[in-house]
Amino acid sequence: MTTILGLSGSLRRASFNSGLLRAASELAPSGTTILQGAIREVPLYDADLEAAQGIPSAVQTLQAQLRDADGLLLVTPEYNNGIPGVFKNVIDWMSRGEGLGFFRGKPVAVLGASPGGFGTVLAQNHWLPVLRTLGMAPWFQGRMLVSRAGGLFDDQGNLTDDRTRAALADFVTGFSDAIRAG
């Protein structure tokens, strides 16, 4: 069994990226589970908070999920041509303490959805130096940029477009196969 920790970098209830993650979980091939991690309760990183109280429980949960996962799937929005601050904050917290070691050598894939015409190409590229610093193993054989997302999701943020669902199934299968091939 292959387990992939999936994180959506959006807090919005009907988020396209959270919907993309839910669909990825539904479309995962047999023998692969995509666990949807929760980022909502992760506070803003504050070294004083860490010194006084340690690593917050929401972060400890994510660290344990990453430790136990075979790969990491980052489903990123793009805000102002880059990584959303809330998403980067989660990864920064997760890399604290022993968490940094959980990233080392871990396969990672990045995809995302945007209402704009270029998908999340700039945010995905913006992740590369972060992934390099964490010592991760990016999967470059597949790329998924979901553009004009407003017409592909319903008002609850569920992916309804058949072509995009098929492309997502191929993406997730490719990433899962790459993890298994190790």
Q: What is the pLDDT along the chain (182 residues), one digit of tens a residue?
A: 999 999 999 999 999 999 999 999 999 999 999 999 999 999 999 999 999 999 999 999 999 999 999 999 999 999 999 999 999 999 999 999 999 999 999 999 999 999 999 999 999 999 999 999 999 999 999 999 999 999 999 999 999 999 999 999 999 999 999 999 98
Q: Report yes or no: 14 and 22 within 8 Å, Cβ to Cβ.
A: no
Query: Following CA atoms 147, 66, 68, 35 in sequence, which dihedral angle do they give, to the nearest 10 degrees?
Result: -40
According to DSSP, the residues that pair with 171 across neighbouring strands are none
Separation CA 133–CA 87 (nearest Å): 16
Q: What's the predicted TM-score (pTM) here?
A: 0.96
Q: For the purposes of burial, counting CB atoms within 10 Å of the CB of 137, is it exposed (0-12), middle (13-18) or buried (19 or more)?
A: middle
What number of helices (H) and strands (E) belong to the chain?
7, 6
- Cα-Cα-Cα-Cα torsion 142, 38, 30, 24, nearest 10 degrees, comes to -40
- Residues in Cβ contact with 53 at an 8 Å cutoff, skipping those fewer than 6 apart: none
State both tokens at 113.
């959805």
The tokens of 24 are what? 């990825």
Q: What's the domain range around 115?
A: 2-181
CATH number of the domain that residue 67 is part of: 3.40.50.360
Q: How far is CA 53 from the centre of its chain?
A: 27
Count of domains in the chain?
A: 1
Report whether 42 contacts 59 (CB < 8 A).
yes
